[in-house]
Chain A
Amino acid sequence: MAAKTNVEQLQKAGIIPAKHNLTLGDQAKVNTLTEHEVAALISARQKLGDALIKKTAKGGKFPHPDSFSY
């Protein structure tokens, strides 16, 4: 059986919800991640697909800060 891609593993873990498709560019990025990076995403329970969609929906004309700009 062929090894699962990172995208498939993250879909299985619920990190990329099956109903949301990542762009081809993001899929390519995800598939270059190491197993340790994939594990870190799963550990943090970050929802990539959901989050990417929210970014589009809630973008403003001038983006709000998202870090502390230390």
Chain B
Amino acid sequence: MSPTNSQILRGKIELVRPRLRQAAGEVWHHPRLAELFPDLLATIHSVIRATVPTLKTAEQCARARAAEDPVCAGMVEYLAAHALEEKDHDEWTLGDLEKLGVKREDAWQRIPSGAAAALVGVQYYWMHHVHPVAYLSYQAVMENPPSPEFLEQAIERTGLPREAFATQFFHATVDPHHVAEFDQLVDSLPLNAWHHSILGVNAFQSVDLLARVYEDLLKRFEMSHPDAASAYLVP
């Protein structure tokens, strides 16, 4: 049986996801995660503040081509609905930061890493100047739910308040449903080899840039905490 569209896409991402897992692991298993965690949430916020705007842009780009392009036509409703589902998640993350004593205005004042800007910025290029289908590989890379068990361990390990993990727990609960919906959408689209190639190229690039976002976060933390040597705690 031939693999489905979503299986093809996820198979490609799995080839490169180990690098991402390693970069993320350096952060999540850092011996000083309690101190690093506010920076992690601020970094997450620097990226997900663009989620609804990018979803809306993808929808607009797809809608503009929908009359002549069945792939675009197949994406429009999903993107519009998903933009509503993702509404305010960035605000929730700011709420989590407040539980750690970080003011909202301070989070907004923080200058994002160049990798975060590039990760989001390239999505606009693909959508506007190549094809909106590219956005789906970014989404497949980004929407990979955390496990509630791991989050429980992180709370225990750091001693941080559970409320600071509220948005993470929400994603752990809801995102598996989002992933199923996403796969259903991708499998319904009449993708050809050209579309698959675009999805693959953007997936590889997005994984690389997201890994760099984690690496930049760690470098920044270690520069501001010279005594915090990078020491990955093997689980």
Interface residues, chain A, with chain B CB atoms under 8 Å away: 26, 29-30, 33-34, 36-37, 39-41, 43-44, 46-48, 51-52, 54-55, 57-70
Contact = CB atoms under 8 A, between A and B. Distances in A.
Contacts of B153: 62
A7 to B, nearest CB: 11
B145 interface: yes
A32 B28 CA distance: 33
A66 B204 CA distance: 15
Interface residues of B, number: 48
A64 B24 CA distance: 8
* Dominant secondary structure at the B interface: helix
Contacts of A58: 21-22, 25, 232, 234-235
A64 B149 CA distance: 9
Contacts of B114: none
B44 interface: yes
B150 A64 contact: yes
B15 A68 contact: no
Contacts of A54: 18, 21-22
Contact of A40 (B18, B25, B171, B204): B204
